[in-house]
Structure 1
Amino acid sequence: MKLNATESKVPLYFLAREGYWLERAFKRFCNGAGIKAQSEYLLASRAFLFKLLLDDERSFSYSLKSGFKGTFSELLQNRFILNQDEITRTFSPVLLAKTIDLETDKQSVIDIFNAHKAELSLLLASTKKAYLAYLEQLGVTKQQTVHIVDLGYSGTIQSLLGILLNQNTYGHYLIASNPGVHTIEGCKATMKGYLKEGVKIGDGYLPLDRSMFLESLLTAPNGQFRDIRFKTLNKGAENLKQFDFYYGRKVASQKYFYILEQVMAGALNYIEHAARHNITFTKSELEMLLNSYLSKPHMIPHSIAHIFDIDDDVTGNGTVNALQFFGLNK
């Protein structure tokens, strides 16, 4: 992404687990190119925002979008990361045992959430207060337009942040499936893809169809971001500048993060070297490089194949190894 004068003056917020390395790469690029720019790594996840906005009907078009079959209790655990105590305190055993198929039961699920809006608001109040304070600390709430960076692709986290904050957003993506300017619940959401725009999974564009490969490689040392709380200095006192963060289970890439750090050290060194010497790649050259790794088996050394695990708990698929999934380790 090339920075123009305007973009270099506004902070860029790098989202989710992929943002952990993307933000570091951006800083190394700026260092090599002699550019002064502001950037922050911003903790966010689809599941966390799905949960945080359970009392806001505007979010349901995103959180209930993909298919699901199972009990209502399983939906709450997998899609909205509610724990067992939160679930049983909020919903009756009869509702929790109800079998759900989102293709046919989406409206009934919405009706249940709306009927329990007061209970959900009370349940989520402390988490929402802490997260908004965290966003304020990072300067997010002060921006006229919040500029975020992610791999892509449909802009779900961007849309949910816009709903939560009632702010305009601008999404900078490697690939944007739904590019352009959109109005989301009264706010402007701009989505730009720097490698490709207007393609969706299944269209045959390999960098998107096999994006799981990049997601597994560009990951933070922690599992999925699941919760945030104020750090309590003493009973009844809150320190608004300090937070406790809670994460989901770790997969192999996080358990063996030291291996990933060695891989990324070389990548970051090259990024800074390329920026310093004005070495650039065209989109077609990047696609050629990506397609080589995404289509040909044994391009990745066998000794590090295990770090390509990702968790796909939101869709109920558990742990998936990208290389095995696409047959790249055969």
Structure 2
Amino acid sequence: MQAKSRALHDFGSTFLGPALHCYAESIEAEAEGHLPVCLAREGWCFYRLLQRLERASLISLPHAPIYLRVSRTLLFRAMLGDPAIMPMALGNDFSGSVLDLMRKRFGLQLHEIFSTLPIELLRFTCELPRDQALVQQWLAPHMAALARLVEPTREALRAYLRQCGLDDPDMRPLMLDLGYSGTIQKVLTHVLGRDTSGLYFIATKPGDAAVGTHHAHLKGVFHEGVGWRNGCVMLDRSLLFESLLTAPHGQMVDIRQKHDGGFEYFYGREAATQRHFQDLKMVFDGAIDHVIDCRRHGVSYTRRDVQDLYEVFATRPNCIPHDVWHLFSVDDDITGNGIINPMQMFAI
């Protein structure tokens, strides 16, 4: 193995491997009666992890895992105008114009926005969640038109979820994701019209959350009930995990059903990890190889072990090797921030 490849592989083993090992143990413990559903960008690595563990007969799951190509942007677009989802869509941080909000939070194209909303409204600026009620008031006269605009996305999403088997009455979906408040799980609970479970690295609001007449149950593996900027390094500096736990195609922003019953997927812009995905794959391989070795040889980590290890990488300069610096960037368009670099943000 070349020196760079070895460095990437070793970094995956030490940085991601212990966390994935604990997470796999928790998935196996929660899996009975559930359909494991690996969500969004982070879920791509979890899906590969579970597939390899199953092939090696190192994990017992009641159903083969599913990789679900979704994102908050896609779901907010699909459910635009739905009164049960709009408070959730407008409840997260955002700063910018209404035009930027419709483009970045809801994934609308410029021609869709200008054909549906008046130009005067698009110039207004807002800060969410502070202006949530005001934005809902501004959009209220246009909700019916917006709902009609996204109907093809909404219908394709529902067909896609059915094809993936998420409507199976005998298997409750177990959503697998990095965290934190379970927004994707809650929207899917509403779309599916059924109770769901979620297992996350971190759950900021664990327990049952009512979504209409159904419930989304959230559980965290490494932390539960923690808040942002309250001293939890794994949460406050979670962008390091978010940078790496991504998919080769980036963030999904739209879906269409084709005439043959298949689906066409549309993605947002690429971050550094998409441009250098072969390098990121080496990091994943190192992490998953580590999990396999641990399970074969009876090696275990406590949650405290993983928390302490992450704190070292996230707070001390030069612990992350130079060979992987180029992989740390995150598409944070949904908040209006664009591409951000956590290495620079955290000065490590």
TM over 0.5: yes
Task: Give the Cα–Cα distance (whole angstroms) in 1 for the partners of residues 32 and 302 of structure 2.
Answer: 22
Deviations 1:282-326 (A, max 9, x none): 111111211111111111111220111111111111111111111
For the pair 1:15 / 2:39, whether they are aligned, the reply is: yes
**Partner secondary structure for residue 33 of structure 1:** coil
**Partner secondary structure for residue 119 of structure 1:** helix
Whether the 8 Å CA contact 2:94–2:334 is kept in 1: the answer is no
Q: Which residue of 1 aligns with 2:5?
A: none
- List structure 1 segments (4+ residues) > 4 angstroms apart after TM superposition: 3-6
Among 109, 113, 116, the residue aligned to 2:139? 113
Q: Which residue of 2 aligns with 1:35?
A: 60
Q: Which residue of 2 aligns with 1:149?
A: 176
Q: Which residue of 2 aligns with 1:62?
A: 88
Task: Give RMSD over aligned pairs.
Answer: 1.8
Comparing 197-206 with 27-36, greater Cα deviation is found at: 27-36
Question: Following TM superposition, by how much is the alpha carbon of 1:32 offset from its aligned partner in structure 2, in angstroms?
Answer: 4.7
Q: Which residue of 1 aligns with 2:10?
A: none
Q: Which residue of 2 aligns with 1:44?
A: 70
Task: Give the Cα–Cα distance (whole angstroms) in 2 for the partners of residues 212 and 5 of structure 1.
Answer: 27
What pairs up with 1:138-287 in 2 under 5 angstroms?
138-143=164-169, 145-231=172-258, 238-240=259-261, 242-287=262-307
What pairs up with 1:250-329 in 2 under 5 angstroms?
250-328=270-348
Deviations 1:10-66 (A, max 9, x none): 320011101000111123334352524420111111111111111101112221113
Task: Give the Cα–Cα distance (whole angstroms) in 1 for the partners of residues 43 and 234 of structure 2.
Answer: 18
From the superposition, tell whether residues 32 and 277 of structure 1 become closer, same or farther in structure 2 (CA, over 3 Å).
farther
Whether the 8 Å CA contact 1:306–1:321 is kept in 2: the answer is no
Task: Give the Cα–Cα distance (whole angstroms) in 2 for the partners of residues 258 and 149 of structure 1.
Answer: 24
Q: Which residue of 2 aligns with 1:25?
A: 49
Question: Following TM superposition, by how much is the alpha carbon of 1:164 offset from its aligned partner in structure 2, in angstroms?
Answer: 1.8
The number of residues matched between the two structures is: 321
Unaligned runs of 5+ in 2: 1-24
Letter in 1 for 2:347: G
**Partner secondary structure for residue 152 of structure 1:** coil
Q: Which has the higher contact order (CA 8 A, sep 6+)?
A: 2
Task: Give the Cα–Cα distance (whole angstroms) in 1 for the partners of residues 29 and 322 of structure 2.
Answer: 44
Identity of paired residues, percent?
36
Among 72, 79, 86, the residue aligned to 1:53? 79
Whether the 8 Å CA contact 2:33–2:172 is kept in 1: the answer is no
Task: Give the Cα–Cα distance (whole angstroms) in 2 for the partners of residues 98 and 281 of structure 1.
Answer: 51
Among 102, 125, 144, the residue aligned to 1:76? 102
Among 114, 123, 131, the residue aligned to 1:88? 114
TM, length-normalised to structure 2: 0.87
Whether the 8 Å CA contact 2:28–2:60 is kept in 1: the answer is no
Task: Give the Cα–Cα distance (whole angstroms) in 2 for the partners of residues 149 and 67 of structure 1.
Answer: 23
Task: Give the Cα–Cα distance (whole angstroms) in 1 for the partners of residues 287 and 93 of structure 2.
Answer: 37
Letter in 2 for 1:239: D
Task: Give the Cα–Cα distance (whole angstroms) in 2 for the partners of residues 281 and 5 of structure 1.
Answer: 15
From the superposition, tell whether residues 262 and 67 of structure 1 become closer, same or farther in structure 2 (CA, over 3 Å).
closer
TM, length-normalised to structure 1: 0.92
Task: Give the Cα–Cα distance (whole angstroms) in 2 for the partners of residues 325 and 99 of structure 1.
Answer: 26
Question: Following TM superposition, by how much is the alpha carbon of 1:103 offset from its aligned partner in structure 2, in angstroms?
Answer: 5.3
Whether the 8 Å CA contact 1:32–1:276 is kept in 2: the answer is no
Whether the 8 Å CA contact 1:14–1:22 is kept in 2: the answer is yes
Task: Give the Cα–Cα distance (whole angstroms) in 2 for the partners of residues 194 and 5 of structure 1.
Answer: 11
Question: Following TM superposition, by how much is the alpha carbon of 1:127 offset from its aligned partner in structure 2, in angstroms?
Answer: 1.0
**Partner secondary structure for residue 176 of structure 2:** strand
Task: Give the Cα–Cα distance (whole angstroms) in 2 for the partners of residues 93 and 85 of structure 1.
Answer: 12
